Amino acid sequence: MTLGTWLDIWVAEYLTGVKARTADSYKTTVDNHLKPAFGATKLDALATHEIQRFYNSLQKQTDEHPPLSAKTIRNINGVLHKALQQAVELGYIRYNPADACKLPRVEDKEIKPLDSDAIAKFLSVIDGHKFQAVYIVTLFCGLREGEVLGLTWDCIDFDKGSITVNKQLQRVRRGNGAHNLVSPKNGKSRRITPAPSVMDVLKRQKQQQSAWQLAAGPAWENNLNLVFTNELGHNLSSQTIYLHFKKLVKEAGYPDTRFHDLRHSYAVAALQSGDDIKTVQETLGHHTAAFTLDVYGHVTEQMKRASADRMEQFIKSVSSL
């Protein structure tokens, strides 16, 4: 059996347990990278050094392609490794030749959260914008893009002042490009308690949506019961939200800000305002507090230094040290 044949089998038969978008991403990697490189190679003859040579070539500029990022190469390896591991479990090969590959190191991107002045300017710019509520909920709840676009009304509890985050909106790239509600990134739901002003924004959004529904009449279609829709009840696309967002942050004077930086801005603001790391971790939906600390360690270091300065002032006020 060739690797190309096995990859086709693996994609068709062994990806049933993953999200549609993830399966689509795996298939794209197989079609665009793995089959062109190794499709004709016998499955049991694929050697580690051949895979390594391929990964090394992807980091170099050629006439055919620009160099790929370390993250992209690691993603390609992730797909190949999964496919080969399944072949190991089935007894088609004795070991996984991708195990011993040396992968390029991914440099962590510096996060660029908005500070309080920038947040104030951003809120001023988005005032009255048709997607104002989307941006406010994202910014002050720390939601991922798919999570805020996938919020449904049954997950908003106005009596308790809480939001249950248990799904995200995803677009399937292949076929008709339909949008589906799928489980969150780590597969776990979480309940968050936003500030009362955020819940007020959601109340106004519900009133606005009711007015749209009344005006649209039979044309209204919100089959997914989404919180954020257009005037006809259709879901909002991530591209539309992103393009409007980039125009707004440019107007505010922060053109390099990404939509995901709203999530970072929430986390930093929460930590600086005194929230403990466990609360921030649970609100963001991170697997562990250690991961949250790793991402926002620079913030906690600043807080430690500020704490030391406060203690120094206290010591001087009560002693002659």
pLDDT digits (tens, 9 = 90+) for 148-188: 999 999 999 999 999 999 999 988 766 566 788 988 887 78
Asked whether the beta carbons of 199 and 162 are under 8 A apart, the reply is: no
* Model confidence pLDDT, tens digit, residues 128-147: 999 999 999 999 999 999 99
Task: Write the CA distances from 301 to 125, 254, 273, 277, 308, integer angstroms.
Answer: 32, 25, 14, 13, 11
Contacts of 224 (CB under 8 A, 6+ apart): 152, 181, 235
Helix (H, G, I), strand (E, B) or coil at 95: coil
What's the total number of domains in the chain? Answer: 2
What CATH number has the domain bearing residue 80? 1.10.150.130
Residue type, 144: R
Higher pLDDT, 32 or 171: 32
Determine which of 67-71, 83-87, 207-211 has the lowest per-residue pLDDT on average: 67-71
Is pLDDT of 66 > 70?
Answer: yes
* Separation CA 293–CA 138 (nearest Å): 21
Tally: H helices and E strands in the chain: 14, 5
150 within a domain of the structure (yes/no): yes
What is the per-residue pLDDT for 237?
A: 92
55 within a domain of the structure (yes/no): yes
pTM of this prediction exceeds 0.85: no
What's the mean pLDDT when you consider all of the chain? Answer: 91
Among residues of the chain, what percentage have pLDDT more than 70?
97
For 195, the token pair is 């500030």
Task: Answer yes or no: do 52 and 185 share one domain.
Answer: no
Domain carrying residue 48: 3-89
- Of 48, 30, 101, 105, the closest CA to residue 71 belongs to 105
Task: Answer yes or no: do 173 and 78 share one domain.
Answer: no
Between strands 190-192 and 162-165, the pairing is antiparallel
